Amino acid sequence: MSLKIKQDHARFRDIVRGRIKSNLKKYVQKGEMVGKKGKDFITIPIPTIDIPHFRFGERSQGGVGQGDGEPGDPLSPGDGQAGSGQAGQGEGQHILEVDVPLDELADILGEELALPRIEPRGKDRIIATRLKYTGVAPSGPESLRHFKRTYKQALRRQIASGSYNWRRPVIVPVREDRRYRTWKQVPLPETNAVVIYMMDVSGSMGDEQKEIVRIESFWIDTWLRKHYKGLESRYIIHDAVAREVDRDTFFHTRESGGTMISSAYKLALEMIETEYAPTSWNVYPFHFSDGDNWSADDTRLCVELLQKRILPAVNLFCYGQVESPYGSGQFIKDLKETVGPRENVALSEIADKDAIYASIKTFLGTGK
Amino acid sequence: MDKHTQLPSHLHDIRNRVEGYARAYGLDFFDTVFEVLGFDEINMVAAYGGFPNRYPHWRFGMDYERLSKGYEYGLSKIYEMVINNDPSYAYLLESNMDVDQKLVMAHVFGHVDFFKNNFMFRHTNRKMMDQMANHATRVRRYQDKLGVELVEDFIDRCLSIENLIDYQSPYVKRRPDRPDVEGEGAERQVAQGFKNEREYMREYINPREFMQEQQRKLDEEAARKKKFPERAERDVLLFLLEHAPLERWEHDVLSIIREEAYYFAPQGQTKIMNEGWATYWHSKIMTEKALDASEVIDYADHHSGTLATHPGQLNPYKLGVELWRDIEDRWNKGRFGKEYDECDSFVARKHWDKQLGVGREKIFEVRKHYNDVTFIDEFLSLEFCIQQRLFTFGYNEKHQRWEIMEREFRKVKEKLLHMLTNFGQPLIAVEDGNWENRGELYLVHKHDGVDLKLDYARDTLRHVQSLWRRPVNLHTKVEGRGTIFRFDGKEHSDRRADL
């Protein structure tokens, strides 16, 4: 019975990976599962293939709901779309909503995007190990004897040999019944990491662009936090000059004026050199912009800073170019030609919200 | 062999007790076979829509992945599944606590009672388990002969239009037994020829050959005018089966898809009633009979989880059970009929109680003769709407978000009915199978205020065309303007066309 679904499942995975059925490729979508983190709803990517039907446009249809609120009040994200009436055919499916812990979210993300484990730099120096109980075995030290499993085993033996008497349910384990916990040594990076987020806040970085950066940085934080015991995040915004801000300001500032990307790089470098010595810190600078720099000269300066001073000091430098209707998008081309081939550089163009997951994979898929 | 012995003995005892309670309350159900499955198996069975022996298709693998992941990540869990069949099959999740199994069994007997008695299920095949296995065999045979890819591609296209069936047709007979193909009889027009008062001149003024020629033209004209199909055909799948140039295996596969679509349709059309009914009975059986004191907390936890509501979603369990209780209460107190309806004293209505005590009788009658549309239409009252705090929501383009729109009773009810009518699907029918006398298919979307999702409509049209083989057209409205979408096998086009 289970073999059968394996075939259909394998076929579905093949289609998603584009190996067969190119005609379905365009219907492969980033479906979502909704989990909850505190008050926020977190969507977990899960691929679906939508066979087209004649159906209503969701937005023009709307629906009926139940609960508090006045006309004009927003529904929380994650609600809405679902609607009702077409609840499907599988009877009796109770959907539960649960809180998902952060590191589980990271696991889910890792699995969905097939992200590799990060290998911190200077592994020999900073790895620690930890014991983790992983199973049960028939031998081991007495202090780790698993009482329940031992008695279960004894019961099983007694029933099998016909010596169990339900009127007098006495179970006596013998030597072979004993079961012990076993463990594994799990390498645990004991070390710290810092993410330095830099963002261009010129006028072209609108709300939608910032939302993209916000979602992406949430996942980056979550993923890195899974791999490092301590994670610090620092935020730099820049137009023609750069300054450090708190997280909130980072995502809400909107300015305009010229753009000198080098200003941000200089500030980040200063931070790294004074506070995060590469010998004891894993450093992750992320820079988001729409790709419009003030001048070719400044771009040259950026490349020079990267090549000579930043890249040797960091695990991974990531540049995400968020598409905006105004930017020329030149910067990523310049980076591609100069630092692009370096192995600790990841460049990604993010066209819209749907492109976030692919971009995360570009950034974190390097395992650096 | 007693097939119930597959259950572990303690569950077997629970089952017999719960069944006894259910029968004592007057529930009337098919023999029900319970099976205990692990979560992986239950996810698999659920992916196949409840039928472990269904035909192979990647879509079931997709549903399986969604269900498995949802379970692994702790986002969703299937407690139970019931298959409308005689005997009915119900699957229990192995890892459930006994109190859950008890609750689920009570819930299941509610469903099976509904399947057996509700009029919407009168025409469904109660041997669907066997039929599905039979379908699977046929599809496999074609795949062996023609290749997996080819057959699967064809199934993809059929699935794209599986919702184009006539959800009412099992209950209404509207096609004549045999269409009058020749168009003979009283209506046939007879050629008149030139006007002629002198009988002896007839052969000269209207020679026989000329008259025959005239008659032939008239008949041709009539045939052209005669519509094909005569009336708009809402069962598009049937129309294609009867008239599209399909190969024999294609014909067979399409008929399988159609048959399964009709099998599942009544479940979709009675979702609110059916889930509400099962919930009503599990809570009654549990709280009045089956529950042990030690199980109360777990029961309450699970039960409230089932009935939880979220602002942007309508929980059919919750809406359903509340409506059933409301009906029972109203008929117990005599809150219905002319006198009650015409009473406009708020106070009098509030304290209205004629102590009729016919509530139980009433709900049993309602579960027989209604579906979701008529159920909501008849029993969703103003008081209920306020008490349950129902509202409509929609997308506010300006704020780029979903918002609560209205709390007004009429609007809520209207929206709800709209969502339930035709299964929440657009009404699309074959208007002409020989459009403009060129053998083109002409579909009409009966537009009722909500536009189609256009990119999907175009792609679906492409799939219809691949079955019909000639160009296909769809008339609908886009932002208030009549539009005909056309796919001719090579490219899409559209043009304005107000009817």
* pLDDT for residue B379: 96
Do the Cβ atoms of B392 and A62 come within 8 Å?
A: yes
Do the Cβ atoms of B456 and A55 come within 8 Å?
A: yes
Say whether residue B386 is in contact with chain A using an 8 A CB cutoff. no
Q: Give me B200's structure tokens.
A: 């002896």
Do the Cβ atoms of A91 and B76 come within 8 Å?
A: no
Q: Give me A246's structure tokens.
A: 């708190």
Q: Is the pLDDT of residue A93 over 60?
A: no
Average pLDDT of the residues in B457-482 = 94
* pLDDT for residue B328: 97
* pLDDT for residue B83: 94
Q: Is the pLDDT of residue B473 over 90?
A: yes
Task: Give how far B301 is from chain A: nearest CA, Å.
Answer: 12
Task: State the average pLDDT for chain B.
Answer: 88
* pLDDT for residue A99: 56
**B320 found inside a domain:** yes
Say whether residue B397 is in contact with chain A using an 8 A CB cutoff. yes
Q: Which residues contact A143 (CB under 8 A, 6 or more apart)?
A: none
pLDDT-derived band at B388 (thresholds 50, 70, 90) equals very high
Are B354 and B336 in contact, with CB atoms under 8 Å apart?
A: no
Q: Is the pLDDT of residue A277 over 80?
A: yes
Average pLDDT of the residues in B460-479 = 95
Could you report the per-residue pLDDT of B82-95, keeping only the tens digit for each? 999 999 999 999 88
* pLDDT for residue B358: 95
Nearest CA in chain A to B273: A85
Residues in chain A with CB shorter than 8 Å from the CB of B460 are 52-54
Do the Cβ atoms of B50 and A91 come within 8 Å?
A: yes
Return the amino acid letter for B112: V
- A193-366 CATH: 3.40.50.410
Residues in chain A with CB shorter than 8 Å from the CB of B451 are 56-57, 60
Q: Is the pLDDT of residue B366 over 90?
A: yes
Domain that holds residue B351: 308-422
Q: Is the pLDDT of residue B291 over 80?
A: yes
Q: Is the pLDDT of residue A53 over 80?
A: yes
Burial of B190 (0-12, 13-18, 19+ CB in 10 A): exposed
Q: Is the pLDDT of residue A165 over 60?
A: yes
Comparing B428 with B205, the larger pLDDT belongs to B428
Q: Which residues contact A350 (CB under 8 A, 6 or more apart)?
A: A212, A216, A320, A321, A322, A323, A356, A359
pLDDT-derived band at A90 (thresholds 50, 70, 90) equals very low
* pLDDT for residue A164: 85
What secondary structure letter does DSSP report for B244? Answer: S
Residues in chain A with CB shorter than 8 Å from the CB of B459 are 52
Residues in chain A with CB shorter than 8 Å from the CB of B152 are 11
- What percentage of residues in chain B have a pLDDT greater than 70? 93
Q: Is the pLDDT of residue B305 over 50?
A: yes
Task: Give how far A113 is from chain B: nearest CA, Å.
Answer: 14
Q: Is the pLDDT of residue A34 over 50?
A: yes
Q: Is the pLDDT of residue A96 over 50?
A: no
Task: Give how far A307 is from chain B: nearest CA, Å.
Answer: 42
Do the Cβ atoms of B311 and A69 come within 8 Å?
A: yes
Lowest mean pLDDT among A65-74, A200-209, B285-294: A200-209
Nearest to B321 by CA among B308, B340, B337, B302: B308
What secondary structure letter does DSSP report for B437? Answer: T
Interface test mutation site (partner A, options B273, B386, B404, B464, max chain A beta carbons within 10 A): B404
**B416 found inside a domain:** yes
* pLDDT for residue A76: 61
**B213 found inside a domain:** no
Q: Which residues contact B95 (CB under 8 A, 6 or more apart)?
A: B38, B39
* pLDDT for residue A49: 85
* pLDDT for residue A127: 55
Comparing A230 with B249, the larger pLDDT belongs to B249
Interface test mutation site (partner B, options A1, A4, A5, max chain B beta carbons within 10 A): A5
Q: How far apart are CA B208 and CA B216, in angstroms?
A: 12
Average pLDDT of the residues in A105-121 = 73
Q: Give percent helix, percent strand, percent coil of chain A, each to the nearest 5.
A: 40, 25, 35
Q: Is the pLDDT of residue B182 over 60?
A: no
- What percentage of residues in chain A have a pLDDT greater than 70? 79
Q: Beta strand pairing status for A192-200 and A242-245?
A: unpaired
Q: Which residues contact A76 (CB under 8 A, 6 or more apart)?
A: A41, B311, B312
Comparing A251 with B357, the larger pLDDT belongs to B357
Do the Cβ atoms of A86 and B58 come within 8 Å?
A: no
Do the Cβ atoms of A75 and B401 come within 8 Å?
A: yes
Comparing B398 with B188, the larger pLDDT belongs to B398
Could you report the per-residue pLDDT of A215-244, keeping only the tens digit for each? 888 888 888 888 877 788 899 998 888 889
Nearest CA in chain A to B272: A85
- What percentage of residues in chain A have a pLDDT greater than 90? 12
Q: Is the pLDDT of residue B48 over 90?
A: yes
pLDDT-derived band at B207 (thresholds 50, 70, 90) equals confident
- What percentage of residues in chain B have a pLDDT greater than 90? 63
Do the Cβ atoms of A8 and B454 come within 8 Å?
A: no
Query: In chain B, which among 418-447 make CB contacts under 8 A with chain A?
Result: 419-420, 423-426, 428, 445
Do the Cβ atoms of B397 and A59 come within 8 Å?
A: yes
pLDDT-derived band at B4 (thresholds 50, 70, 90) equals very low
* pLDDT for residue B330: 95
Q: Is the pLDDT of residue B183 over 50?
A: no
Return the amino acid letter for B496: R
**B399 found inside a domain:** yes
Query: In chain B, which among 26-55 make CB contacts under 8 A with chain A?
Result: 40-41, 44, 46-50, 52
Count of structural domains within chain B: 1
Say whether residue B56 is in contact with chain A using an 8 A CB cutoff. yes
**B82 found inside a domain:** no
Q: How far apart are CA B267 and CA B357, in angstroms?
A: 30
pLDDT-derived band at B226 (thresholds 50, 70, 90) equals low
E-only strand ranges, chain A: 28-37, 40-49, 63-66, 93-95, 127-137, 180-189, 192-200, 230-238, 242-245, 281-289, 317-322, 345-350
Residues in chain A with CB shorter than 8 Å from the CB of B80 are 92
**B418 found inside a domain:** yes
Average pLDDT of the residues in A296-316 = 89
**B375 found inside a domain:** yes
Crossing angle of the two packed helices B454-468 and B148-160, in degrees rounded to 10: 120
* pLDDT for residue A3: 66
Nearest CA in chain B to A208: B400
Q: Is the pLDDT of residue B169 over 80?
A: no
Interface test mutation site (partner B, options A50, A94, A108, max chain B beta carbons within 10 A): A94
Q: Is the pLDDT of residue B32 over 80?
A: yes
Sequence ranges of chain A with CATH classification 3.40.50.410? 193-366
Average pLDDT of the residues in B350-371 = 94
Q: Which residues contact A159 (CB under 8 A, 6 or more apart)?
A: none
Interface test mutation site (partner A, options B77, B115, B267, B314, max chain A beta carbons within 10 A): B314
pLDDT-derived band at B61 (thresholds 50, 70, 90) equals very high
Start-to-end C-alpha separation, chain A:
42
Residues in chain A with CB shorter than 8 Å from the CB of B52 are 1, 4
pLDDT-derived band at B181 (thresholds 50, 70, 90) equals very low
What secondary structure letter does DSSP report for B24? Answer: H
* pLDDT for residue B243: 93
Q: CB count, 10 Å around CB of A276?
A: 21
Q: Is the pLDDT of residue B37 over 80?
A: yes
Lowest mean pLDDT among A185-194, B111-120, B203-212: A185-194
What secondary structure letter does DSSP report for A26? Answer: G
Crossing angle of the two packed helices B271-285 and B248-269, in degrees rounded to 10: 50
Lowest mean pLDDT among A40-44, A64-68, A345-349: A40-44
What secondary structure letter does DSSP report for A198? Answer: E
Q: What is the sign of the dihedral through the CA atoms of B309, B310, B311 and B317?
A: negative
**Strands ordered across the beta sheet of B440-445:** B428-435, B440-445, B472-478, B481-487, B492-496
Q: CB count, 10 Å around CB of B171?
A: 13
Lowest mean pLDDT among A124-133, A151-160, B461-470: A124-133
Comparing A97 with A159, the larger pLDDT belongs to A159
E-only strand ranges, B58-207: 76-78, 80-83, 88-93
Comparing A18 with B210, the larger pLDDT belongs to B210
Average pLDDT of the residues in B125-139 = 95
SS3 call for A103: helix
State yes or no: cis peptide before B245, omega within 30 of 0.
no
**Letter string b/e over residues B357-369, b meaning 16 or more CB atoms within 10 A of that residue's CB:** ebbeebbeebbee
pLDDT-derived band at A91 (thresholds 50, 70, 90) equals very low
Residues in chain B with CB shorter than 8 Å from the CB of A108 are 73
Q: How far apart are CA B431 and CA B428, in angstroms?
A: 9
Residues in chain A with CB shorter than 8 Å from the CB of B317 are 94
Of A54, A75, A97, the CB nearest to B311: A75
Nearest to B391 by CA among B409, B372, B379: B409
Interface test mutation site (partner A, options B77, B237, B391, B451, max chain A beta carbons within 10 A): B391
Q: Is the pLDDT of residue B270 over 70?
A: yes
Task: Give how far B240 is from chain A: nearest CA, Å.
Answer: 16
Task: Give how far A234 is from chain B: nearest CA, Å.
Answer: 31
Average pLDDT of the residues in A36-55 = 73
Do the Cβ atoms of B73 and A90 come within 8 Å?
A: no
Task: Give how far A84 is from chain B: nearest CA, Å.
Answer: 6
Say whether residue B316 is in contact with chain A using an 8 A CB cutoff. yes
Q: How far apart are CA A64 and CA B307, in angstroms?
A: 16
Lowest mean pLDDT among A115-119, A168-172, B248-252: A115-119
Q: CB count, 10 Å around CB of B119?
A: 14
Lowest mean pLDDT among A108-122, A169-183, B64-78, B123-137: A108-122
Are B448 and B456 in contact, with CB atoms under 8 Å apart?
A: no
Are A257 and A226 in contact, with CB atoms under 8 Å apart?
A: no
Comparing A306 with A32, the larger pLDDT belongs to A306
